A = this chain, B = another copy of it.
Amino acid sequence: MIDTIFKHRTIRSYKSLAIEDEVLEKILKAGTRASTTGNMQVYSVIVTKDKEIKEKLWQAHFKQNMVKQAPVILTFCADFNRFNKWCEQRKAKPGYDNFLSFYTASIDALLAAQNVALEAESHGLGICYLGTTTYMAADIIKALNIPKSVVPVTSIVIGYPQDIPPLTDRLPLEAVVHADVYTDYSEEDIDRIYKDKEALQQTKDLLIENEKETLSQVFTDNRYTKKDNVFFSKEYLKIIERQGFMNNEL
């Protein structure tokens, strides 16, 4: 059993303590041990500590305080640039300017990211994933000089936690697990699965704070709206294309 997995909480407040170089190196090495498609390692990690560049990332990530506060921001990218260059220097013609290659490289980047997150936590560090990475990919590309064939996929802020919040609630295991094949949810299933979550004090507080009747409405009307999703879908697809991953013809 990996204790660290079961103790994970998202940390949003960090001490002003640097991460030791040898710890950071170990954490990044943990990333490279993750499975990768055909051992191609088609991802990159950008390790940002510089104050000015962090400021630009903070702007991109909706000015979330922790992006400035944490000593290190890791930006994980789907990256075929290095592999393509290697092919071209070795009399090989790369065919990786398409959507499948982008998605394959995304998988590589995300599995590496989770290794990095866990290894960091095992050293007493805290982490927080930044969903704003896909929303604001264009600004991140600019801030980090990211070239063609590379797309930011996720980011992690990392540092020593200011304090440790309680474990976050999760749906019961039966909610996400299906036996043998997918069994679709009945109305009763949905009621049962979400019952405990809906009964939390935290949920009740959210309803008041957001002036909503149901928790679902907090998500659909305030947190993850159709308007934003449509806007950022177009933006991210544009970035995937602009970075050279939408040439889906022979």
Binding site for B on A (CB under 8 A): 1-2, 4-6, 8, 10, 25-26, 28-35, 37-41, 43-50, 53, 77, 79, 81-83, 85-87, 89-96, 98-101, 103-104, 106-107, 110-115, 117-119, 122-123, 129, 131, 134-135, 143-147, 150, 153-154, 168-171, 173, 175-185, 187, 190-191, 193-194, 213-217, 219-221, 223-227, 229-230, 232-234, 236-237, 248-250
Chain B residues closer than 8 Å to A107, beta-carbon distance: 110, 131, 153-154
22 pairs, A vs B, C-beta closer than 8 Å: A5-B119, A32-B176, A38-B224, A40-B219, A41-B171, A43-B176, A44-B176, A44-B177, A45-B176, A46-B177, A46-B182, A48-B181, A81-B185, A82-B175, A86-B216, A89-B191, A91-B214, A91-B217, A98-B229, A100-B233, A103-B134, A107-B154
Bound-state CA distance A195–B6 (Å) is 40
User: Quick check: A90 and B30 within 8 Å, CB to CB?
Assistant: no
Contact of A182 with B225 in the complex, beta carbons under 8 Å: no
Could you say which residues of chain B place their CB within 8 Å of the CB of A31?
Answer: 176
The CA-CA distance from A181 to B194 in the complex, in Å, is 42
Most chain B CB within 10 A, of A100, A215, A227, is at A100
- Chain B residues lying within 8 Å of A26, measured Cβ to Cβ, are 1
Q: Measured between alpha carbons, how far is A242 from B108 in the docked complex, in Å? A: 25
Query: Across the two chains, which residue of chain B brings its CB closest to A98?
Result: B233
| Most chain B beta carbons < 10 A, residue from A92, A94, A214, A232 | A92
Task: Give the shortest distance, in Å, between A98 (CB) and chain B (any CB).
Answer: 4
CA A145 to CA B41, docked complex, whole Å: 33
> Which residues from B are CB-within-8-Å of A112?
176
Is there an interface contact between A181 and B144, defined as CB atoms closer than 8 Å?
yes
